[in-house]
């Protein structure tokens, strides 16, 4: 089913009733594909749709001074601009990282539907609030941890979020992130990210070959990254 990843995602954070599932099954969407680095939304845009990520990865960006800071990564099942429902004016960019497939859903449909389905509205609000919880953790990650912990933490987070929508097999998952992407996300230089990844590899914590990341020593990696899952607010 087209929206399976969305359902996986929402089920990871809340219970969905049969009615909720029916509503989601009938959700009208327009699907569009994007190549690497394409803009889905730009800073200053006024939005009338939300975009559900079906396949691939998206990132929110912000230009600060002469640097581009990545504010969050998004995995399939995420709706990275859900906030535009009540805050339509974008204050950052939303782009693809690698090729991505996105389903657009109109604000009108959302507003009409969520008015009539309070339980589903609750789930979506929960989703949007978890988005903010992740921001908080990123502030702590960038502000308080050293380079190796930042990268380890980010890897753990992506792994946990991908696992929630069934995109981790064994201890491996695929991501299109370049070292520059990681640098922009963690507030580091690309050169330093390179050396930090080597450190993680030589410590035997991860393997990162091409687009495939493998977590070799999960608990050690989580320790290095000071990672706990509570902020993701996953069920159980």
Partner DNA sequence: CGATCTGTTGACTGTTATCAACTCCGGTGG
Partner DNA sequence: CCACCGGAGTTGATAACAGTCAACAGATCG
- The residue ranges that bind DNA (CB under 7 A) are 35, 146-148, 178-180, 187-192, 194-195, 197-198, 210
Closest to 34 (Cα-Cα) out of 86, 89, 98, 121: 98
Q: Are 134 and 231 in contact (CB under 8 A)?
A: yes
Instruction: Return the ∠ at Cα 11 (arms to 10 and 16), rounded to 5°.
Output: 90
Q: 147-164 and 179-186 helices cross at what angle (nearest 10)?
A: 110
Give the C-alpha separation, 29 to 66, whole Å: 37
CB of 136 to DNA, least distance (A): 19
Pick one of DNA, its own copies, none as the site partner of residue 46 (Cβ within 5 to 8 A by kind): none
Pick one of its own copies, DNA, none as the site partner of residue 170 (Cβ within 5 to 8 A by kind): none
CB of 61 to DNA, least distance (A): 14
Pick one of DNA, its own copies, none as the site partner of residue 116 (Cβ within 5 to 8 A by kind): none
Report CA-CA distances (Å) from 230 to 33, 132, 168: 33, 13, 19
Q: Which residues bind its own copies (CB under 8 A)?
A: 44, 60, 62, 64-65, 67-69, 71, 83, 86-87, 89, 91-92, 115, 118, 122, 125-126, 128-133, 135-145, 149, 185-187, 226, 230-231, 233
């Amino acid at each position: 089913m087209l929206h399976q990843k969305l359902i996986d995602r929402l089920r990871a954070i809340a219970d969905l009733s049969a009615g909720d599932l029916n509503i989601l099954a009938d959700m009208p969407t327009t699907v569009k594909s994007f190549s690497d680095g394409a803009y889905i939304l730009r800073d200053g845009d006024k939005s009338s749709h939300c975009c559900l990520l079906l396949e691939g990865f998206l990132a929110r960006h912000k230009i600060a001074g002469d640097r581009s800071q990545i504010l969050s990564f998004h995995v399939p099942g995420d709706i990275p601009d859900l906030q535009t429902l009540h805050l339509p004016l974008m204050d950052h960019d939303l782009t693809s990282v690698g090729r991505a497939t996105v389903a657009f859903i109109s604000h009108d449909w959302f507003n009409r539907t969520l008015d009539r389905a309070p339980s589903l509205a609750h789930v979506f609000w929960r989703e949007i609030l978890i988005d903010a919880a992740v921001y908080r953790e990123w502030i702590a990650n960038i502000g308080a941890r050293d380079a190796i912990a930042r990268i380890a933490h980010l890897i753990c987070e992506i792994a946990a979020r991908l696992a929630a929508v069934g995109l981790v097999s064994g201890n491996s998952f695929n991501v299109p992130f370049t070292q520059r992407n990681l640098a922009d996300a963690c507030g580091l230089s690309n050169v330093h990210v390179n050396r930090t990844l080597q450190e993680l590899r030589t410590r035997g914590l991860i393997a990162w070959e091409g687009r495939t990341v493998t977590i070799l020593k999960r608990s050690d990696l989580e320790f290095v990254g000071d990672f706990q899952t509570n902020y993701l607010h996953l069920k159980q």
